[in-house]
Structure 1
């Protein structure tokens, strides 16, 4: 009996597809895209939403950067220090000290002129006023204009005057000088192919073209009067073979109006862009010597300032040598306004003859940063798309085979480029490639059976990878430049001192604490109150700001509020070394304190109520809709006001209670503030997130919550007998960022840092 023929063998891939339910490719792709879009939206909204973003977010930065300008003061051009170094406070500024930057694109925006950045500032001194002229890039026309600001207090505060010169082409580098009682400006006009001289009709607001000095596209040009002649130095980009930004030319004349005669050895420099050939500001004369400022370039618009001593300047000879020039710069990376680069400096001697003032631009990100972030973000999105298609093929949702017939050669007409043999050769190559792709696709299709637990695990892993890549790509595209920026008050920035109290058993906490918080933009320095044990050695703590360890004789919690004359700022942030939060949370709290410098601004609200009084947690306070204390283990305060209250005679009994319980020092300070005022004395700022490391430590006094709260309830009872009841002082404000209008007013400029003899110079200058 003949056996029946066997059915043809079914390929393994086909068998796998039969075991899986059919899936529409369109349905799969729609579901995958919808899922990833939801993941991206959820990720983008997971960050905190606050009503007052940093000032730079009101601007419109682009690929050229987010430049701003800062002021520096010193005994000489070679000893300049940033303005915050001198501890200067200004009336109505809520800034003690005033800190850089002093002019930003946000200031120009608030004056009514759209701006992406401000850069290349020049100073012009006229009587008691200091004028600053600078380039502002119009974020609508995308070209540079010349704007101005004026300071009547030696560069501490600046009033914006708006755009004072606007042409149909890009202009920048507004070099301003005087000649025969008139004020002139030679801005860069290289986009127009020439170098122009303007004179002021109504200084500083109205300017008129005087003449075209040179029919050359010069950039970063300056004119100086030296040894009886006028010298024009600039970079000419027109000649063939000129290395852009690495070329320097010189012209000379008997008048700033010309005619200008080229130097015998032009170009003086035509070399590597990193060698500072291009001008980076106004030349200056110091001790009879002429110095030229150059910008050192490297892979961008500029990253450093170089100073050259001009040894010979003649019509047939030029010689200069680089001299050491260092300006104190923050090492906080993107969190510093000039953390990435600077490429311009103008320094001049003040009329008093005792001090020099300089203005420098700076940027927190390198050139092209936004393009770089967009490129990475879209590349990650591309990888996500490929993985989505690959996953679709693996689970059998997408099955795409390229038909060979689409690649058959057309023989109806003879091509002018290929003969018949060449066309068939091309067909052979294409068909081979398509065949290999189809084979690869057949190997992939249906490899994962998602109805089994093993297949589902694979799908989940791939989906997690997709979500991570989508979120990272979203962060690069929409997440900003990664900087945690400070928040200005009335356009002014300031700094605070971070103070923490610890001892030897918590050294590991302290190391993380110092390394993290030293990078926050408004942290000037860190004071460590060392209560017990051997303090860390010099250099053991990694910090980008100065760290001072104050060793105490007695292990007492009262040491936290010891009066310290070496603290250089008005604001002190008391922060336990076991609390970790973002720099942005600190900056928001600092902003609120600057609006209310007479209050304690903290992050951990507490409520005391009941009879007898009980110490209640933040969760309970929220349930009851109010709080009447904030923990000073994470709080801003005016150290001059708070520490004096704490060490007053009326607080003596309270300090004894703190020592007896080894607890409650923050509770005592809340009572002292409440007892001294009929208005709100504490304010709560909600952090985006905070980690209390004491929960993972065996040495924290609050690790046993129940015992800790019981002791604090005892303190409440004793303090209320002495200082009154806190219950009547009940406030609640759960907003992420409190908004008020009250600030502490100062009647005059105060210098808080002792720098003899510079302190007397500053006091004289600022009167």
Structure 2
């Protein structure tokens, strides 16, 4: 009897020891690894949340970018809704001097803009345009126009290469607004139509895309000396006093004033220097209005490889032009401004 009890006690004690050891080991490993496992699970959960949140933000951003046009009721790459035929239109006056290829691109583009009522090409080259070129460009205007009433098209041919003829009066215009532009400058239709709406709010002033600045820079030989500043001067100073006629709206009456009321000495100077007719026009309009021009924020594309502004010594010639024309004009009518017209529908924040 005692032998049986002894065997039982040994077995029970042996089983108890193995279970105890397993429990002890389990408790040891659990106490060692449990915090690390909990931390790992927390990090994994946080990463999943961040990943899901990031994907959600990305999807919302893509959706909003693709749909913002419909939310706001406008399409950036299409002609601006600002323009409507009931508000009238404008005549595009293209200064041609760089060749038929650029002229063709320019005419085709501006014919496609909804606000274009007429296209006039100021032709001052030695040889007149060929009949084939005239006929071809008329076909281009007709095919590119998106309106029922097609823009009229005409070459204004000058018998001599006289720079002042760029602003020669045009008799058969149906609109008051002139958009003066070089043949190598393309302004997208949406920006052009917005600038036209800005001009309609101030039709006596000059409204354009290329701002420039002037400032008094001491004296030379006892005479006040003014500096002409390009785009970087405008950017640095946050102000401008001119917009160039290479891409600008103004009233057609200024063509007549430039031709008949501008001091002959200034016209002679422009013809002799073959430069700075745009500065002369800026002074003329500023003197007539006593107000600054309006700079419109917008994209423009220069489709030629280079222009006058890229030539060596251009800045010095512009400084000389500005001071000479001011001297001949007898006053400095230019007014500085820091106002910029922006189409709020094409800005993320307003």
Alignment TM-score, normalising by the size of structure 2: 0.70
What stretches of structure 1 of length at least 5 have no aligned partner?
Answer: 1-21, 45-470, 739-767
Cα 1:487–1:725, aligned 2, differ >3 Å: closer, same or farther?
Answer: same
Contact between 1:661 and 1:711, CA under 8 Å: does it hold in 2?
A: no
Cα 1:492–1:568, aligned 2, differ >3 Å: closer, same or farther?
Answer: closer
Does residue 526 of the first structure (1) align with residue 119 of the second (2)? yes
Q: Displacement of 1:486 after TM fit?
A: 4.8
Alignment partner, residue 350 of structure 1: none
What is the DSSP-based 3-state SS (H/G/I as helix, E as strand, rest coil) of the residue aligned with 2:340?
coil
Equivalence map 1:118-267=2 (5 Å)? none
Of 308, 320, 332, which residue of structure 2 is paired with 1:701? Answer: 308
What is the DSSP-based 3-state SS (H/G/I as helix, E as strand, rest coil) of the residue aligned with 1:731?
coil
Contact between 1:522 and 1:587, CA under 8 Å: does it hold in 2?
A: yes
* CA distance in structure 1 between the partners assigned to 2:291 and 2:275 by the alignment: 25
Alignment partner, residue 37 of structure 1: 60
Q: Displacement of 1:693 after TM fit?
A: 2.6
Cα 1:727–1:528, aligned 2, differ >3 Å: closer, same or farther?
Answer: closer
Alignment partner, residue 651 of structure 1: 263
Contact between 1:645 and 1:651, CA under 8 Å: does it hold in 2?
A: no
Q: Displacement of 1:674 after TM fit?
A: 2.5
- What per-residue deviation string (whole Å, max 9, x for no partner) do you get for residues 67-106 of structure 1? xxxxxxxxxxxxxxxxxxxxxxxxxxxxxxxxxxxxxxxx
Does residue 502 of the first structure (1) align with residue 96 of the second (2)? yes
What is the DSSP-based 3-state SS (H/G/I as helix, E as strand, rest coil) of the residue aligned with 2:119?
strand
* CA distance in structure 1 between the partners assigned to 2:340 and 2:235 by the alignment: 8
* CA distance in structure 2 between the partners assigned to 1:25 and 1:38 by the alignment: 20
Contact between 2:93 and 2:120, CA under 8 Å: does it hold in 1?
A: yes
Cα root mean square deviation, aligned: 3.0
Contact between 1:631 and 1:666, CA under 8 Å: does it hold in 2?
A: yes
Alignment partner, residue 711 of structure 1: 317
Cα 1:514–1:38, aligned 2, differ >3 Å: closer, same or farther?
Answer: same
Alignment partner, residue 193 of structure 2: 587
Equivalence map 1:435-514=2 (5 Å)? 471=66, 480=74, 483-487=78-82, 492-503=86-97, 505-514=98-107
- What per-residue deviation string (whole Å, max 9, x for no partner) do you get for residues 527-580 of structure 1? 111121452523423222332112211112211101121222211110112222
Cα 1:680–1:476, aligned 2, differ >3 Å: closer, same or farther?
Answer: closer
Equivalence map 1:550-561=2 (5 Å)? 550-561=156-167
Alignment partner, residue 238 of structure 2: 625
Q: Displacement of 1:30 after TM fit?
A: 4.4
Contact between 1:592 and 1:737, CA under 8 Å: does it hold in 2?
A: no
Contact between 2:241 and 2:292, CA under 8 Å: does it hold in 1?
A: no
Of 134, 148, 152, which residue of structure 2 is paired with 1:546? Answer: 152
Of 685, 689, 702, which residue of structure 1 is paired with 2:296? Answer: 685
Contact between 1:651 and 1:672, CA under 8 Å: does it hold in 2?
A: no
Contact between 1:487 and 1:493, CA under 8 Å: does it hold in 2?
A: no
What is the DSSP-based 3-state SS (H/G/I as helix, E as strand, rest coil) of the residue aligned with 1:529?
strand
What is the DSSP-based 3-state SS (H/G/I as helix, E as strand, rest coil) of the residue aligned with 2:113?
coil
Q: Could you say which structure has the higher helix fraction?
A: 2
What is the DSSP-based 3-state SS (H/G/I as helix, E as strand, rest coil) of the residue aligned with 1:732?
coil
* CA distance in structure 1 between the partners assigned to 2:189 and 2:83 by the alignment: 15
Does residue 736 of the first structure (1) align with residue 348 of the second (2)? no
* CA distance in structure 2 between the partners assigned to 1:36 and 1:707 by the alignment: 52
Contact between 2:83 and 2:193, CA under 8 Å: does it hold in 1?
A: no
* CA distance in structure 2 between the partners assigned to 1:666 and 1:559 by the alignment: 12
Alignment partner, residue 169 of structure 2: 563
* CA distance in structure 2 between the partners assigned to 1:549 and 1:686 by the alignment: 30
Equivalence map 1:40-59=2 (5 Å)? 40-41=63-64, 44=65
* CA distance in structure 1 between the partners assigned to 2:168 and 2:153 by the alignment: 17
* CA distance in structure 1 between the partners assigned to 2:72 and 2:235 by the alignment: 33
Alignment partner, residue 375 of structure 1: none
Q: Displacement of 1:39 after TM fit?
A: 4.4
* CA distance in structure 1 between the partners assigned to 2:214 and 2:202 by the alignment: 23
Runs of 4 or more consecutive aligned structure 1 residues displaced over 6 Å after TM superposition: 22-26, 476-479
Contact between 1:685 and 1:735, CA under 8 Å: does it hold in 2?
A: yes
- What per-residue deviation string (whole Å, max 9, x for no partner) do you get for residues 571-629 of structure 1? 11101122222212111211122222211111111111123212101331232232211
- What per-residue deviation string (whole Å, max 9, x for no partner) do you get for residues 723-744 of structure 1? 2443762222123169xxxxxx
* CA distance in structure 2 between the partners assigned to 1:602 and 1:568 by the alignment: 21
Alignment partner, residue 428 of structure 1: none
Larger RCO: Structure 1 or Structure 2 (Cα < 8 Å, ≥ 6 residues apart)? 2
- What per-residue deviation string (whole Å, max 9, x for no partner) do you get for residues 185-228 of structure 1? xxxxxxxxxxxxxxxxxxxxxxxxxxxxxxxxxxxxxxxxxxxx
Cα 1:39–1:725, aligned 2, differ >3 Å: closer, same or farther?
Answer: farther
Cα 1:569–1:684, aligned 2, differ >3 Å: closer, same or farther?
Answer: same
What is the DSSP-based 3-state SS (H/G/I as helix, E as strand, rest coil) of the residue aligned with 1:498?
strand
Equivalence map 1:742-753=2 (5 Å)? none
* Aligned length in residues: 279
* CA distance in structure 2 between the partners assigned to 1:707 and 1:40 by the alignment: 50
Say which one has the larger Rg. 2
* CA distance in structure 2 between the partners assigned to 1:563 and 1:727 by the alignment: 23
Alignment partner, residue 226 of structure 2: 613
Cα 1:664–1:728, aligned 2, differ >3 Å: closer, same or farther?
Answer: closer
What is the DSSP-based 3-state SS (H/G/I as helix, E as strand, rest coil) of the residue aligned with 1:684?
strand
